[in-house]
Every structure is written in structure tokens, then in C-alpha cells.
Chains A and B, each alone.
Chain A
């Protein structure tokens, strides 16, 4: 195959995958409105994705906030503008780091696990077993996982940001001796509900949709082999992370300001 043919083939494969993903999401949406609601399974998934991700999300949040506080303090102190550390930390965290880093962490921790679980169910014929009992695996397996992910993302992102603000406070106030009131008031003055908090929330929700659909799609359409399970896991982490970063840029520019 010539390189141009390879390029053409890759492009067609990409388009085919996007189309299949679209059909998959459509089927998922249709399954979501059909009874029963599978509330029990949904709560279990929120536990797996949300609660079990809490330690890593909170710890990463606190460290990222601390580093951000430290670095912006060092940079701003050159201009005698240490008072703006709170504003820099708050805006950067709420607009970007909160949703993006949470999405990457949750993709690595929960998205990959989700894809691997579904892929191994494909491999061991468990989805076919469900189908034989005339239970739609889309409804029983995929839907609670996807909604659990979508539901947990904004909450995890908000917790990440709060822990990061606390981390920034810890470093800039306790360690570097910035005035606590300056940090908090600069943060609260700079951050706006519509421009920043809504942007953060929108990003977290969009990333949640991307991660939920990509991880379940990769698991659901995996080859029924051991290699298929590993390919689904790797593919989920790579594709979901890249998609999150691309959509982050697109959302940021579309949002303006």
C-alpha cells in the first residue's frame, strides 16, 4: 500500500468508527428512556466510579493546587503582584485544571476499568448470555456505567477544584506567608459564576459524555479475545484522553473571553 492509500484507509476507518460510535450512543440514549431504570446498578456504578476515585482526585487536586500556588507566587512576586495568586490559581483551576485533570484521572482509573470489564464480558460470552435471557446488555450493563460516569464527573471535578484551592491556600498562605484575606478575596473577585463556574461545569459534563461513550463503546465492540480486552483498555485511555484535550481547546475558544 502506498502511503496515500494508507492515509485513505485510516481516514475511512476513522469515519467508520465515528459512525459506529454515533449509532452506539443513539442506542444507549434509547435504552436510557426505556424502563426499568436500573437505579440499583446506577448507584453501584456511582460508587465504583465516583467514590472509589475520590482519594486520587482529592490528593491530585491538593498537589496541583499547591504547585500552582507556589509557581504563580514565584512568578508574580517578581512584579510585586503576589496578591493575585488567588486569582491565578482560581481561574486556572476552575476553567481548565479542574475539569481536564479530573477527566484524565477518571479516564485512567475508571474508564479503563469500565472498558476492560465490558470487554471481558464480551470475551467470556456473558453479554450473549444476557441476550439469551432476553436482557438487553446495552440496558443492563452499558447504561448504568455510562450514566454513572456522566453523573460522577461534575461532582469529582468540583471536589478537585475545592481541594486544589485549599492546596494553593496551604502553600501560599501557610508556607510563603501571603495574607489569607488577600488570597481568598482575590480568588472571589476574579472568579465569575457565568464565565468561569458555568464553563467548568459545562466542560465536566461534556468530558463525562465523551469518556462514558468512548469507554463503553471500546469495551462493547472489542474482539472476543484476550488481546481484545487489552486493546479496548489501551484504546479507551488513549482516545478518551485525546478527545478530552481536543474538546477542551474547542470549548475554551468557543466560550470566548
Chain B
């Protein structure tokens, strides 16, 4: 087959379109924009993370600004959550992190509340002020069984 400029052009366009589709899926849909090099990685320690999972969203005032990268247990047996947030964000050092639920039974997400300090959080720094997830099961348990009685009470002597 002889070289054909028109055919080569079409193949080139096909490759570009395919790569653009891959890039769209990876960066926009796959959320690679928060994790690439130069991303802003913050850490926060919680007593209880509830249903929070890696890649749960992070929001400020309800606007998504990043996603949870990993959840590990720290030496004191608390949950240490790594947060990947938009590197353009300038968060004051006294910002706080709270685990909230979208809706009554919705997915959990990390809500950041900006503080008032001049200094900003840099890559790898720790968010000191955190508030744990509210366990809906625990609340219902307290409501149903207010006296704290549970199944495991010792057998009554006869």
C-alpha cells in the first residue's frame, strides 16, 4: 500500500481522539487531578471514621475539593486519614476537619472548616482539630435503650 497523507491524517486524528478519551477518563472522571505530583497531602486523626473509605470526597462548605487517599491505624489505635486536596487551596493552620454524612443515610465525607490564622497548611502537615463521625447506630441504640441496658447483662440470680 502506498503512503497516503489523508489516511495518515485520519489515523493521527483517531489516536488523538483515543488519547483524549483516556485522558478525560483518567484525570476528570478518575480524579487524578488531586493526586498527581505537586498535590497537597494533609493528615487528620479521628477517634472514629465510621463509614469513611478511601476516595470519599472532601468538601469545604459543600464544594468538593479533594478525596480521602488512605485510612490507617496510628500507634495509639486511632484512625489516621490521609487527605488529598486541591493544591491551589490555602487553608489556615487552625482549620478543622469533621466527618459528616450527606443526608440521613448517605455516604460519609470529610468537611473542612477553614480557620482564621495567617499561616497556611503545607504539604504533609497535620490538621489538629478534628471531630469524629457520628455513629447513627449508636444514636439509635441510645434512643431505643436509654438506660444503657444491653444483651450482655449478667444473669439474674434466682
Option from B15, B18, B19, B31 in Cβ contact (under 8 Å) with A188 = B31
Contact with B along A180-217 (1 / 0, CB 8 A): 00000101110111011100110000000000000000
Whether A94 and B64, one on each chain, are in contact in the complex, defined by CB atoms closer than 8 angstroms, is: no
Q: Is the CB of A54 within 8 A of B25?
A: no
A51–B30 touching, CB < 8 Å: no
Docked Cα-Cα span, A187 to B10, in Å, equals 31
How far does the Cβ of A45 sit from chain B's closest Cβ, in whole Å? 10
CB proximity of B115 to chain A, nearest CB, Å: 26
A146 at the interface (CB under 8 A from B): no
Asked if A191 contacts B30 (CB within 8 A), the reply is yes
Residue of B nearest to A90 (CB): B29
Report the interface size class on chain A.
20 to 34
Q: Are B30 and A47 in contact (CB under 8 A)?
A: no
Report the separation of the CA atoms of residues A155 and B11 in the bound assembly, to the nearest whole angstrom: 12
- Distance in Å: Cβ of A147 to nearest Cβ of chain B: 13
**Residue with the highest number of chain A CB atoms closer than 10 Å, among B15, B22, B32, B64:** B22
A185 and B3 CA atoms in complex are apart in Å by 45
Q: Do the beta carbons of A51 and B31 come within 8 Å of each other?
A: no
B137 at the A/B interface (Cβ < 8 Å)? no
A46 touches B15 (CB 8 A): yes
- Complex Cα–Cα for A144 and B136 (A): 60
Given A155-B14, A189-B67, 7 more A-B residue pairs with CB atoms under 8 Å apart are A40-B3, A43-B11, A155-B19, A189-B31, A191-B30, A195-B55, A197-B26
Query: What would 21 A/B residue contacts be, using CB atoms closer than 8 Å?
Result: A40-B1, A40-B3, A43-B11, A46-B15, A47-B14, A51-B11, A51-B14, A54-B14, A152-B18, A155-B17, A158-B18, A159-B17, A159-B21, A162-B24, A162-B25, A187-B29, A188-B29, A189-B31, A193-B30, A197-B25, A200-B25
